[in-house]
Chains A and B, each alone.
Chain A
Amino acid sequence: MTDEEEALLVEQVASAYRPTARAHEELRYHPAWHDLSEAARERAFARGRALRTLESTIDPDGLSAAARAILARIP
């Protein structure tokens, strides 16, 4: 995998999107997370943290995309 390819995977994993867990699963990882090196996973964590800050700052209710994803799962 080239550095550029890995950078694009980090960008995906840093998003707040996570697939819905199936009936027998507790939770589901982002599919691209499994393809990342340990160092890239740490970058994805840091990037995600930065993006959640951006999202919550610009959101009228102060909610990040992660918070919105959580609230969307509440009936």
Chain B
Amino acid sequence: MDLDVHLSAIVHGDKVSFARWLTSAERPVRDSLRSFARVIDVEAVLQEALLRVWQVAPRFESDGRPNGLLRLGVRIARNLAVSEVRRTRATPTDHEDLEALVEHATPSAPDPILRQAIEACRDKLPAKPRQALDARLASGGGHDDTELATSLGMKLNTFLQNFTRARQLLAECLKKGGVVLDEELGA
């Protein structure tokens, strides 16, 4: 799938189309930063880079090849990461072939069956871990864990322990149903 199907609307400032683009673009851009993970905060760089894609999109000119905006996002993320490496004087590991990474990127689509499986497992979680997981999911990255813990009347470490338990139990439950979302989820 060519994510540039959303390009025209994004260029004209359609935030909903940008959100749809993000659902498939986030993963390949994130993966393009993997080699920097030891030396920079990839999550911070990724979010800033994708925000910049939105900001520069009105001036974007397609080269006619598929996934032009995604390739631009990978370049912006890479440049920002390199800039951070220079600023912090860190040494990243070898870079992957970024163009190849985009070429092999598989746009994701919502999977209602998988979603139902996760929700069924979430419903089986003990109360406190469930609260911690739900608080994280509901916050949408808008609040730090100290705020979330306070909102639930928990100490930070208790909140984190409950979240860890929720994550591991969820992965275990999914695995019993033959679903491995990501091995790291149960680590």
* Chain A contacts to B: CB under 8 angstroms: 7-8, 11-13, 15-19, 21, 26-30, 33, 38-39, 41-59, 61-74
Contacts and interface: CB of A to CB of B under 8 A. Distances in A.
Contacts of B111: 57
Contact of A30 (B41, B80, B115): B41
Contact of B19 (A16, A28, A61, A73): A61
Given A27-B44, A27-B45, A66-B43, A52 B140 contact: no
Nearest to B38: A38
Question: Chain B contact residues: over half helix, strand or loop, or mixed?
Answer: helix
B136 interface: yes
Given A8-B157, A17-B141, A64 B44 contact: no
A43 to B, nearest CB: 8
The 10 closest A-B pairs by CB, nearest first: A16-B141, A69-B141, A68-B140, A50-B182, A45-B37, A29-B41, A50-B184, A65-B141, A62-B23, A38-B38
A13 to B, nearest CB: 8
Given A52-B26, A62-B108, A57 B141 contact: no
Range, interface on chain B:
35 or more
Contact of A27 (B27, B48, B122): B48
A71 B111 CA distance: 22
B170 to A, nearest CB: 7
Contacts of A8: 157, 160-161, 164
Contacts of A44: 37
